[in-house]
Amino acid sequence: MLYTWSVERTANSQNERTGKAKTKKMHNGNKAKTASLTVLLVSVFLLSVLAGVQFVGKVSAVTAYTENNGTLGGANYTIRIPSPVESWNRDLVLFCRGYDHNKPSNPMGSTLSSYENWAQAALSRGAAFAATTYGSGGYCVQKGMDTTHQLAQYVKSTFNATGKIYLAGISMGGNIVLMLGQKYPNVYSGVLDICGAKNITDLYDGAVFMSTANDSQMDARIQSFTAPVPPYPFSLFGSSWRTIYRNWCIQVAADMVVEFGGTPSAVLQAYRDFDPLYHANISIPVITVQGTSDALVPYARTLEYQAAVNGAGKSNLYRMYSILGGQHGDAPVMNDALNRLGELMAWSNALTGRDWPMFHNDLQHTGYSASPAPNTNQTLWAYATSEAVRSSPAVVDGVVYVGSNDHKVYALNAATGASIWNYTTGEPVESSPAVVDDVVYVGSNDNKTYALNATTGALIWSYTTGKYVTSSPAVVGGVVYVGSYDKKIYALNAATGASIWNYTTGAEIASSPAVADGKVYVGSSDTKVYCLNASTGGSIWNYTTYNSVTSSPAVADGRVYVGSWDASVYCLNASTGARIWQYADVSILSSPAVADGKVFVGQGGGYPRTQICALDAATGTSIWNYTTGSSVNSSPAVADGKVYAGSYDGKVYCLNAATGALIWSYTTGSAVYSSPAIANGVVYIGSFDKVYAFSAAPPIPEFPPAAMILMLAILAAFAVFANKQQRRTSRFFSS
């Protein structure tokens, strides 16, 4: 089964080193000639390619691009930049191919083993795409790292790629991108590893064994990985698959000896120097997609790498997606991996302060942002909805998304506050939106969870629960997790809204679920905190407090922090639910934020005290507290050494995170229940009167478009008049 699309080809524009640049645009009816580009739906394994197999699925929409081809460091490269260039967000995605015994010539793969979908996945997200052949065949990890990094620097300097640079790679390419991300964490912003080799000494040993194994030994080893016989991709070769598999193993082992200067027994350290298993102290977000029935890079090796990452204390930077029954580079693995690119970008943006995509910023609900944050209470803008804003904003790609009690979800320009669109639900929207892959997920008191197009506000789907949804969704891995007042927590398919599972607690759920390490954490008004299996909804543990838990858990460093109406903040072991410490003072409706070894939380669901406090994350000891004029149900946000929160006294507070000293406060027109979002140096928060944006930058004047055009026209006319007067004056004095 085939599909085609048409592209326009213009002559050419410029030379790039030794290559020529071609501009390609989608057919729009102009005079340029069109050519039909046809891509196979199913890729075929190439004899000499280890994990160069690329499943090429259907591209629903092709983004226009300018292509540049050339040679750099002895390797052929392809660079594609979104067209027009103004649509480029200056980000870059580098794709690293898998093993090829022979030296390939085409950076985009072969006709049957194409990287077109990876290019389109990048381009459709506003990023440029680049790939290199490495200029070498064999197990060329060092050359792959060098040429890929050189290409990244070239695109950055030549084309002004000033945004983030992401790495994606399969098999040997996974080995390469994991090592590059580890070596240059200040250059790269995230890694997507697909079936990547992570224990290369084991890879060598396996290749040697299979080179000489008889049929029954070969079958037994393959089956030990829960893979079928024959395994993919060798299953594509019918009765000759064993011969091809053995020859391939002979080539891999020989090429590894050449690459590392000997066998592992002779030069073990040379292997370990390029082995991700021994370089697991990651500093940037890493996503791995791995089939559980992979016969070439066994699933157990990826579990070893995950354990090494956890052992380095970096589990918060690693996500592994296991594709049940998935094999090396097969369709289920590759299709899932393609969908993870957007997740990686959103995750990185949240970590670096570019975005704030969901309640309390991240899946763990830490409430922390790496963004700079304002030292003054200068308002950038304020936007009035028709009723109170209890919802907390999300900020993604320069747009603020927030709900209102006027039943609407709003999309506002983050710089100006101008309305972009709004969508009307059936009841107040107190839930905080989550924005993932151009979709806004949000609950409403009309009992529904909605998925809306982030660009247009158009409805994609809605799912009806048994009661209102004030819980804020968490979205990861194509699943939406959200609670409802019908006592249930739901896992919904992010694409369709179909129910995957639900779990019933003893009372309504206002708490927003946090997701970490394959577990979902949520509170319930039945007094309990629950830990559930994210895939199945099965109960792992629950912990009983002495009153309702409407606070949303925050997960950090293997601990769960959550407040209860029983006047306590709890710290629980994330794996077992065992209590580590308890801080008792006043009722907690606010959700804790965790940063820099401290837990920040609002108090005052009841009197005698209403305050924002900081606790030692390890012991629960009070570090400081700041008294406000009324209850603090707003959940604090932390950035740039400062803590931000709202209060029912109508004020937004900014405190020194280390001392609790007041830096500034701002009086809104009514109570503040909403929690702050911090992105790109701006604090966004709702009040019962408006949505506010605070920034240290000068406020941007808000002119209606017509007024702005009129003003520019007047200024232009005045400039022409002044110029004419100056010429007349000059002639007068020169005569």
Same structural domain, 162 and 145: yes
Same structural domain, 632 and 601: yes
Tell me which of 133 and 50 has the higher pLDDT: 133
- pTM beyond cutoff 0.85: no
Same structural domain, 246 and 340: yes
Residue 400 lies in a domain: yes
Domain of residue 710 covers 705-735
Tell me: the pLDDT tens digits for 491-518?
A: 999 999 999 999 999 999 999 999 998 8
Tell me: the pLDDT tens digits for 237-268?
A: 999 999 999 999 999 999 999 999 999 999 99
Same structural domain, 309 and 215: yes
> In the Cβ-directed half-sphere of 74, how many Cα atoms lie within 13 Å?
8
Same structural domain, 332 and 422: no
The CATH number of residue 317's host domain is 3.40.50.1820
Residue 514 lies in a domain: yes
Query: Residue range 414-423: average pLDDT?
Result: 97
Residue 509 dihedral angles phi and psi, to the nearest 5°:
-115, 110
Choosing from 351, 371, 388, the residue where a domain stops is 351
Same structural domain, 346 and 373: no
Q: Does the bond joining 285 to the residue before it have cis omega, within 30 degrees of 0? A: no
Same structural domain, 450 and 563: yes
Same structural domain, 713 and 690: no
> Distance (Å, rounded) from C-alpha 553 to C-alpha 37?
50
Residue 322 lies in a domain: yes
The CATH number of residue 417's host domain is 2.130.10.10
With contact defined as beta carbons under 8 Å apart, do 448 and 468 qualify? no
Confidence band, pLDDT 50/70/90 cuts, at residue 61: low
Write the DSSP string, 635-677.
PPEEETTEEEEE-TTSEEEEEETTT--EEEEEE-SS---SPPE
With contact defined as beta carbons under 8 Å apart, do 514 and 474 qualify? yes
Same structural domain, 70 and 154: yes
Same structural domain, 345 and 383: no
Q: What angle do CA 58, 64, 68 make, to 5 degrees?
A: 105
Q: Which value, to the nearest 10 degrees, does the dihedral of the CA atoms of residues 634, 637, 643, 646 take?
A: -20
Residue 664 lies in a domain: yes
The tokens describing 89, both together, are 């967000």
Could you tell me whether strands 448-453 and 459-464 are parallel, antiparallel, or unpaired per DSSP bridges? antiparallel
Confidence band, pLDDT 50/70/90 cuts, at residue 57: very low
Residue 619 lies in a domain: yes
Could you tell me whether strands 642-646 and 637-639 are parallel, antiparallel, or unpaired per DSSP bridges? antiparallel
Same structural domain, 489 and 525: yes
Same structural domain, 406 and 337: no
Of the chain, the end-to-end C-alpha distance in Å amounts to: 83
Choosing from 351, 369, 395, the residue where a domain stops is 351
Tell me: the pLDDT tens digits for 522-540?
A: 999 999 999 999 999 999 9
Nearest to 674 by CA among 473, 458, 389: 389
Domain count along the chain:
3
Residue 32 lies in a domain: yes
Tell me which of 638 and 339 has the higher pLDDT: 638
Choosing from 314, 335, 351, the residue where a domain stops is 351
pLDDT of residue 609: 65
Residue 700 lies in a domain: no
Residue 579 lies in a domain: yes
